[in-house]
Amino acid sequence: MVPFSIFPLGDVLLVSIQEEIDDVSLASLLDLLGITVSQRRIRGVIVDLKDVDVVDSFLAEHLWSLASMLALLHAQTVIVGLSVPVVMTLLDFDIALKGVEFALDVEQALDKLNVSKKTRQVT
Amino acid sequence: MNTLHEYRGDEGFLFEIINAVPSGIFVTDMEHSIMIINKAAAEMVGRTPGDCFDRKCYDIFDTPMCQTDNCTCRVATSSGSVNKGQTILRHGGREIPIEYASRPLRNHEGQIIGCVEHFVDISERLEQEKLILSQQEELIRKREEDIRQLQEEILELSTPVIEVWDGILALPIIGALDSHRARIAMQRLLEYIEQTRSPFVIIDITGVPTVDTEVANRLLQTVDAVRLMGSEAILTGISPHIALTMAHLGVDMGNITVQSRMSDALHLAIGMLREKRWESRGMPDSGHEDLIS
């Protein structure tokens, strides 16, 4: 069982990450997303972390790398599903996730992505 | 030279008196031989006065100071003044706490010829003191517990999270914001955001008197926390004084939305909510793709 799943929603990808994700799987997820995003002209990736109880600096760094990579591929990253204890821990350990967007749930994440689509269309 | 032996004159009467005293009295000469001893003293070690006459006091009584330089009789007779203290009398496997006073005995010429010792069994007194102490400690503990509870209640009351609109929460902060309070308030706020799925939070600091680096950081941390949850925080109620302080502190307010009054923040947030609703979700066209796994 691969500890992640990718669900396409048109030009947006919904990625769900499982608790036990390891270094190797995370690396291959990033590779896969990079390829998929550029091949399919994906403009947004929603990463759902509701099944992850512990977000440590290891995972946080990878998420930050992902966001940076996707930005260079003209796609936006939105993270959803952070629980209150996870947020408190991230703040306690001063783990910054700058340049990453967050949303309350997948619905609101899609809203956010559509908003930026509009903004991008105007410019 | 007058010796002790000659003062035993009206023995009978004297003994009646000292035997009536409930605490221990005995008199020794300079060689620690017991010349006079009352009933109470003898009975404390399970004897009669008769058993003790002419015996050495250290044979009759056993304390840690016996036969050492600390022996109270030795100290009293060598210093010429009263020696008081507390010690333990060991007898029959038990340890009896006693309080004693030894006074040197002088003859008519002022020479020290012996020692008068008086001692009291203080075990009951010590027990009572212990009891009172433990009762006091219990009382103090209870009071501290009550105070702690009250403090918790005040914390709860003073940082309420209010749903001021559909999708908009307000957190008015009143009073000083110490780290414990900030943490509790932040946690409750995050839980509320999770529960109500509110996209906006208005944090109002009209009621915060002063802001130093610590408080400013806690506020920024709260704003960050709200962002990680997926909501947006709007800071309101910053007084000119606090604005100046924060500018001086070099606090980075780069990414934070600020409004002057809560009503302004409310207008802004309601406006943004309406905008979101007007926008069509815009479901992107999708061919049916297989799950990528």
Residue numbers in A near B225 (CB within 8 A): 87-88, 91
The full DSSP string for B221-289 is: HHHHHHHHHT-EEEEE---HHHHHHHHHHT---TT-EE-SSHHHHHHHHHHHHHHHHHS---PPP---P
Q: Are B27 and B115 in contact (CB under 8 A)?
A: yes
- Please compute the mean of the pLDDT values over residues B193-211 and round it to a whole number: 92
How confident is the model over A36-65, as pLDDT tens digits? 999 998 999 999 999 988 888 888 888 888
Q: What is the pLDDT of residue B40?
A: 92
Among residues B78, B101, B122, the one where a domain terminates is B122
Answer left, alpha or beta for residue B142, where phi above 0 means left and psi between -120 and 50 means alpha: alpha
Q: Please check whether residue B292 lies inside any domain of the structure.
A: no
Question: Does pTM surpass 0.95?
Answer: no
Domain identity same for B118 and B162: no
Residue numbers in A near B186 (CB within 8 A): 88
CATH number (domain holding residue B237): 3.30.750.24
Domain identity same for B176 and B251: yes
Residue numbers in A near B272 (CB within 8 A): none
- Total count of domains within chain B: 2
Q: What is the pLDDT of residue B5?
A: 64
Give, in order, the Cα–Cα distances in Å from B58 to each of A27, A28, B21, B85: 86, 89, 22, 17
How confident is the model over B240-286, as pLDDT tens digits? 988 888 888 887 777 789 999 999 999 999 999 888 776 644 444 34
How confident is the model over B65-114, as pLDDT tens digits? 888 888 999 999 999 999 999 999 998 888 999 999 999 999 899 899 99
Give the integer Cα–Cα distance in Å for A31 and A8.
16
Domains of chain A, residue spans? 4-122
- Its CATH architecture, for the domain A4-122, is 2-Layer Sandwich (3.30)
B227 has a chain A CB within 8 A of its CB:
yes
Residue numbers in B near A9 (CB within 8 A): 283-284, 286
**Average predicted confidence (pLDDT) for chain B:** 86
Of the candidates B191, B197, B285, the beta carbon closest to that of A104 is on B197
Among residues B69, B101, B122, the one where a domain terminates is B122
What does DSSP assign to residue B112?
E
Among residues B122, B143, B171, the one where a domain terminates is B122
Confidence band for B288, pLDDT divided at 50, 70 and 90: very low
CA of A12 to nearest chain B CA: how many angstroms apart? 8
What residues make up the domain containing B31? 4-122
Q: What is the pLDDT of residue B280?
A: 47
- The answer to whether A82 contacts B229, with C-beta atoms less than 8 Å apart, is yes
Domain identity same for B264 and B169: yes
Q: What is the pLDDT of residue B267?
A: 95
Q: Are A65 and A47 in contact (CB under 8 A)?
A: no
Of the candidates A8, A10, A87, the beta carbon closest to that of B228 is on A87
Domain identity same for B164 and B279: yes
Q: What is the ipTM of this complex?
A: 0.84
Q: Please check whether residue B137 lies inside any domain of the structure.
A: no
Q: Please check whether residue B89 lies inside any domain of the structure.
A: yes
Confidence band for B4, pLDDT divided at 50, 70 and 90: low
